[in-house]
């Protein structure tokens, strides 16, 4: 991608809080990484035999598997993809970019909408230099659960929307932006979308008979600091205190990769986090060895 193209995408990202970038991945890459992420989701979710209607409303929006670059090495080249790293650095105006975490978000056939929310209130990061890449492994449309973004909403106030436990809470954001309808973005295979951590976004329900297979990774500018007490493995694993620079092994540098080498994951410490047992059982985070 040349400097002019990168600058154009960065200007759109700064203005709108999201940008659709067509043709980032080849058909071969999409097939290879799609298979790797499918395997990760199948393995992590093997013990979860619940039907869609037996799941919580939040879980009906998507199956969620985080930190899969760590226990599924075949996913790693996608997480640390140089083209995506370079694009992210350009969007954030940063020289160096780190991974906050990655996740598969597989919206099952018949899966519920993803309610409107902003991401960054969920993360204890002080600065606002964050971007999520959203990578679908097949075309997405209104029918299959495409994403919608409220343009310019990243410049507005931040609000914690409880999509996890309060169904309907996203309506509060929809009402706030009643005069600025979301832009629903349709992707062709190989396209990706980036959104800013403060952008109000949502996804349509999956009315098709196929799973909407999506991989996302959240990146942030190197030099960002821990912003609050909210527990989060990406900082708690490395004992990053409030006000400290976030630079542990859980959040490795993505761009530029020194010598082109991808990082190795660090082991998870015994953190005694109360959600850990449940998160492991549901395949949300890697299982402890043994």
Token readout for 10 is 């960065």
Q: Which is nearer to Ni ion, 18 or 268 (CB)?
A: 18
Q: Which is nearer to Ni ion, 102 or 119 (CB)?
A: 119
Q: Which is nearer to Ni ion, 33 or 62 (CB)?
A: 62
CB 119, min distance to ligand SIN, A: 6
| Residue 24 sits in the site that holds ligand SIN (CB under 6 A) | no
Q: Please report, as residue ranges, which positions from 40 to 99 form the binding site for ligand SIN (by CB under 6 A).
A: 62
> CB neighbours of 77 closer than 8 A, spacing ≥ 6?
33, 262
Q: Please report, as residue ranges, which positions from 227 to 286 form the binding site for ligand SIN (by CB under 6 A).
A: none
CB 206, min distance to ligand SIN, A: 9
Residue whose token pair is 């708690």: 236
In contact, 37 and 75? CB cutoff 8 Å:
yes
Q: Give the side-chain half-sphere CA count within 13 A for 69.
A: 25
Q: Please report, as residue ranges, which positions from 116 to 135 form the binding site for ligand SIN (by CB under 6 A).
A: 119, 132
Task: Name the binder of 105 from Ni ion, ligand SIN, none, CB < 5-8 A by kind.
Answer: ligand SIN
CA pair distance 95, 101, nearest whole angstrom? 19
Per CB under 6 A, the list member of 66, 114, 140, 211 interacting with ligand SIN is 114
CA-based nearest residue to 214, from 87, 78, 83, 107: 107
The DSSP code sequence of 179-199 is TS--EEE-B-TT-EEEEETT-
Q: Which is nearer to Ni ion, 70 or 119 (CB)?
A: 119
């Amino acid at each position: 991608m040349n400097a002019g193209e990168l600058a154009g995408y960065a200007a759109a990202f700064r203005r709108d809080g999201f940008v659709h970038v067509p043709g980032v991945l080849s058909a071969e890459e999409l097939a290879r990484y799609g298979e790797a992420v499918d395997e990760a989701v199948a393995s992590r979710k093997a013990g979860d035999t619940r039907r869609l209607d037996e799941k919580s409303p939040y879980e009906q929006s998507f199956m969620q598997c985080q930190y899969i670059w760590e226990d599924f090495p075949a996913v790693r080249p996608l997480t640390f993809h140089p083209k995506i790293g370079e694009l992210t650095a350009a969007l954030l105006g940063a020289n160096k970019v780190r991974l906050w975490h990655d996740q598969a978000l597989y919206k099952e056939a018949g899966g519920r909408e993803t309610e409107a929310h902003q991401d960054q209130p969920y993360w204890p990061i002080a600065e606002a230099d964050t971007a999520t890449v959203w990578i679908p492994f097949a075309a997405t449309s209104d029918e299959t659960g495409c994403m919608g973004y409220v343009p310019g909403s990243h410049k507005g106030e931040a609000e914690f929307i409880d999509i996890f436990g309060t169904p309907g809470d996203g309506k509060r954001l929809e009402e706030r932006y009643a005069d600025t309808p979301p832009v629903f973005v349709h992707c062709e295979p190989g396209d990706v979308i980036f959104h800013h951590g403060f952008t109000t976004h949502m996804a349509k329900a999956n009315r098709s008979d196929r799973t909407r297979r999506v991989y996302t990774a959240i990146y942030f500018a190197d030099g960002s600091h821990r912003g609050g007490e909210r527990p989060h493995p990406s900082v708690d694993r490395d004992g990053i205190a409030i006000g400290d620079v976030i630079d542990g092994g859980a959040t490795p540098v993505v761009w530029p990769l020194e010598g082109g080498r991808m990082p190795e994951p660090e082991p998870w410490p015994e953190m005694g986090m109360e959600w850990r047992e449940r998160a492991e059982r549901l395949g949300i985070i890697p299982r402890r060895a043994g």
